[in-house]
Chains A and B, each alone.
Chain A
Amino acid sequence: MRGRWWEVAALTLIALVIGLAFLALGLRVAGFDPGPALAALWSGAFGSWYAFTSATALRSVPLIFLGLAFAIAARGGALNIGGEGQFCVGAIAATVIGTHVHGWPAALAIPAVLLGSMAGGVLWILVPVVLKVRFGVLEVISTLLLNFVAEQFVSLMVQGPLQEARHTYPQSDPLLQSARLPVLPGTRLHIGFLLAASAGAVCWWVFSRTLWGFRLRAVGLSPRAAQVSGRINVPRIVVGALLWSGVLAGLSGGVEVSGVTYALFQNLSPGYGFTAIAVALLARLQPGAIVVTGLLFGALEAGAGAMQRDAGIPAVSVYVVEAVIILVVLLADVLARRYWLMRVVPVEESVA
């Protein structure tokens, strides 16, 4: 986004209102009363401290991590569509470690679990990286295909080697107490939220204050120009960006297992990787904004649950709201750029 932060905020807010208006209209057409539905949406997302922490913020954690993961790669011009797959493998790695650290204090067990999940994510993205470097396979496609493989891989794990000791249910043994993330008392919100926010801060610092961040951006804007300049090893930067992307995506899986579910299941993610792409792009790949859009999408999905509980509206309908919000923001951005901000901000993109 070329504008200042308050312009971005205003735009997103307008988009949110338009999206909700669409929802209200759609509900009216479908024969529901929009008033109670929207009230439920709000109360499910922000209606109480509990709702905000345990539904909204909790859901935003994987979205923020995966959004940041997408952003790192995308800043360097590489599209990692495989966050979902790296999430799964990160979760597997976290489960393996989290169920085996008997006798470890939490201060060791938790870092081990999280580091393991990062390693899992890196391992999974290593395949597309190698395919890209050695064979020139586009990472968009390889990461996408690996999502489907990872999904089966999780299934294989929970039915096979990682299945609970009783071999009854397709789930792993629960993580040991010491391997579970601390939880904010009275809520379900775990410390992973702080980690996600800090990851956002670190990303911001790296992107805007380090040489690597500058080079990443240069590569993303024009790989050829970066190469020609002679100062930047383009493939190396891109590979590095993809690996860091894998780190964050894997970590999101580890955090979900050790903070929310405490065991590996087949259906851990409802498509976080997919939604996170929207989260990252909506935030214009800006880390700070990703934290905010992650929260917004977390709120919408949390609200959708409440809408279904309290007003009987199918939860899938909230996808329409998300879609409309994305489209409105895209459109408003274009219009603003064309008719308004063009005069304010120079043509060259302003650094966030």
Chain B
Amino acid sequence: MSWATGTSLLVGGFLASAVRVGTPLLLAATGEMLTERAGVINLGVEGAMLGGALASALGAMSFGVWGGVILGMVAGMCIALVFGAFVVIAKVDQIICGTAITLGVVGLTGTAYRQTFGAAGPGLSIPTFASLPVPALHDLPVLGPALFTQPLLTYFAFLAIPVTWWMLFRTHWGLSVRATGESSEAARAAGIRTRGLQLFVTVIGGGFAGLAGATLVLAQVGTFAERMTAGRGFIAIAIVVLGRWHPVGVLIASLLFGVATALQFLFQALGLAVPYQLFLMLPYVLALVALAGAVGRVRAPAGLGK
């Protein structure tokens, strides 16, 4: 193997890793961005991801991968529906309610998992998505293996970006969502049924989070472990801010996180003589730097959290 092909493989593999790491974050952040655009901040996204992960594992074992995807999304939506009912209809504090939802789901999934699988766990018996090369494109050097030889859910995550952009900025519906996020009173005065809209968007956001959890299980590891989301839901919330509540920004921020995480695994694999903890910090430090530097002053939707 020549040096050139070796390097191209290494770079291609690195980019593929960045995309893989970024995909669940992208999905969860896209959902959270939609929710926040309607003025609702959902700290339960970590819970929705975890719930989605367990439901997708159970679904895939009974009904195959697609069953897993659907159950994962449904679980995410149900969790978001509970959250939405509390914050949109009952108007309770969003931050505390989201905290409670996440707390509750950690408890529920932990208990349910032990009851279903016992101490042995599912092993690697959960069916997973194979990667699906895109015809023609997957032969490209470097980019081919990185971007066009991914599981189906990855393509979906990336396709969701232009779709959300179009929905948010080019449709009447999107205008209503944004208006609600800026000022629900004004939106209501303009004849928008803000509550229904907020609830709907929150549930959609939960579906995305559930799908993000399902991606971890069905497109990456093929197993479930307690607390396996390991804070990714909170990272997704950071990504929304980093991406300035814009689909393209969210895409870039997710990939930034993906690149930074892939980089830290690569550094460790290369055996660089630096304490590994510094590498593990890297994604978060980079995000902070990005927030301070390139992003500048951001403005949240004015009605966020109210």
Q: Which residues of A contact B (CB under 8 A)?
A: 26, 30-31, 79, 127, 131, 134-138, 140-142, 144-146, 148-149, 152-153, 155-156, 159-160, 274-275, 277-278, 281-282, 314, 316-324, 326-327, 330-331, 333-334
Residues of B within 8 A of A324 (CB): 104
**B106 & A319 in contact (Cβ 8 Å cutoff):** yes
- Closest CB-CB distance, A139 to chain B, in whole Å? 11
Residues of A within 8 A of B231 (CB): 148
Please name 8 further chain A to chain B contacts, defined as beta carbons within 8 Å, in addition to the given A144-B238, A331-B86, sorted by A numbering. A144-B237, A146-B284, A152-B281, A274-B99, A277-B95, A277-B99, A281-B99, A326-B99
A27 to B252, CA, bound (A): 45
Binds A, one of B123-131, B151-159, B162-170, B272-280: B272-280
**B281 & A326 in contact (Cβ 8 Å cutoff):** no
A327 to B291, CA, bound (A): 33
- Closest CB-CB distance, B84 to chain A, in whole Å? 13
Main secondary structure of the interface of A (DSSP, over half): helix
A317: which of B107, B238, B275, B285 is its contact (CB, 8 Å)? B107
A298 to B58, CA, bound (A): 33
A145 to B212, CA, bound (A): 20
**A320 & B96 in contact (Cβ 8 Å cutoff):** no
Q: Which residues of B contact A (CB under 8 A)?
A: 86, 90-93, 95-97, 99-101, 103-108, 110-111, 114-115, 226, 231, 234, 237-238, 241-242, 275, 277-278, 280-281, 283-285, 287-288, 291-293, 295-298, 300
**B101 & A323 in contact (Cβ 8 Å cutoff):** yes
A6 to B115, CA, bound (A): 40
Main secondary structure of the interface of B (DSSP, over half): helix
**B111 & A131 in contact (Cβ 8 Å cutoff):** no
**B108 & A334 in contact (Cβ 8 Å cutoff):** no
**A144 & B99 in contact (Cβ 8 Å cutoff):** no
Residues of A within 8 A of B95 (CB): 79, 277, 281
A152: which of B280, B293, B296 is its contact (CB, 8 Å)? B280
The listed residue with most B CB atoms (<10 A of its CB), out of A135, A140, A148, is A148
**A331 & B92 in contact (Cβ 8 Å cutoff):** yes
- Closest CB-CB distance, A267 to chain B, in whole Å? 13
- Closest CB-CB distance, B216 to chain A, in whole Å? 18
**B292 & A135 in contact (Cβ 8 Å cutoff):** yes
**A318 & B107 in contact (Cβ 8 Å cutoff):** yes
**A156 & B287 in contact (Cβ 8 Å cutoff):** no
A26 to B99, CA, bound (A): 21
**B275 & A144 in contact (Cβ 8 Å cutoff):** no
Chosen A-B contacts, 25 in total, with CB atoms closer than 8 Å, are: A26-B111, A135-B293, A135-B296, A137-B288, A138-B241, A138-B300, A141-B238, A141-B242, A148-B283, A149-B284, A156-B277, A159-B277, A277-B99, A278-B96, A281-B96, A314-B111, A316-B107, A317-B107, A319-B103, A319-B107, A320-B104, A322-B100, A322-B107, A326-B97, A334-B92
